[in-house]
Amino acid sequence: MLFKVFAILNILIFSVYLNCFSQVKSSPDIKSSISEIRLKPNLHRDLLNIESRNSNIYSSKIGITSDDNKKSPGLGILLSLAIPGAGHLYAGRMDVGKYFVTAEALSWIGLLGLNLYGNYLRDDSRSFASVHAGFSKNGKDDNYYSNITNYDNIYQYNDDKLRKGQYDQLYDVNSYFWNWDDYNNRVIFDSQRKKSERVYNSRVIFASTLVVNRLVSAISTLILINSQNKNASSLNFNAEVLTSRDNSIDGLKINLVKSF
């Protein structure tokens, strides 16, 4: 959220800058993209009269260039990696960024939806097993639910582990007892458990989409900002101090040039 607010502030500042420049450009006192303002301390002295007296005019120029139109590619990339579309908002290209925002929203909806559905299937299957195998769900981990699908009861399980010498995997009968009331119910539980696992595994699709969407958004932002910076206009301020041969100041000439 912080990145988005920062991007919006940049856009607002950029909009104000453009508005100010458009007002300067549309002023009747400015022709084309060059404006000249002459400030003379002695208004009765005219430049033509000075030239007629063979007084040479010397000028001293001071140039200032403004590139405020240009965006930072690095910042655009960071914004896009944090929130896809934020970099496009920063670049003023939400006509492109809206697709990345939409993809981000759909990916999160899909990821959260699968997670909720997987939780529902898992809890429902475990409740079913608890009723038909006669055990309490408290303190039982995923390995326990996986094991009860392969054995009718805890005695079969412990006997198998004893024959294999896997003594560390034995269950305490009092704490982990189970005994299926019907083989078909054990098969039903196994089917439900595997279905919930498939749903959980499907989440990787949307998780991958979230990553890919950020990378593509960052690349798109980089391309757009580089293109904008290449074609961005700049403002040049040239100030000229007009002096005569005797070093007296004749006037000040200010040029405002907008280059493309």
Among 208, 225, 247, residue at a domain's last position: 208
pLDDT band (50, 70, 90) for residue 70: confident
Number of domains in the chain: 2
Average pLDDT for the chain: 77
**pLDDT tens readout for residues 111-140:** 999 999 999 999 999 999 999 999 999 999
User: How far is 206 from 106, CA to CA, in rounded Å?
Assistant: 9
Distance of CA 78 to the CA centre of its chain: 7
Residue 100 lies in a domain: no
Residue 225 in domain: no
- The residue segments making up the domain with residue 200 are 111-208
- In the block, tokens 């034995």 appear at 170
200 and 239, same domain (yes or no): no
In a domain, 75, yes or no: no
Nearest CA among 65, 42, 47 for reference residue 239: 65
Residue range 203-238, pLDDT digits in tens = 999 999 999 999 999 999 999 999 999 876 555 556
Reduced 3-state DSSP string for 151-178: CCEHHHHHHHHHHCCCHHHCCCHHHHCC
Other C-beta atoms lying within 10 Å of the C-beta of residue 259: 10
For residue 137, tell me if it sits in a domain: yes
In a domain, 218, yes or no: no
* In a domain? residue 196: yes
Residue 174 falls inside a structural domain? yes
Q: How confident is the model over 158-176, as pLDDT tens digits?
A: 999 999 999 999 999 999 9
The verdict on 203 and 249 lying in the same domain is no
Is residue 119 located within the same domain as residue 153? yes
199 plus 146 within the same structural domain: yes
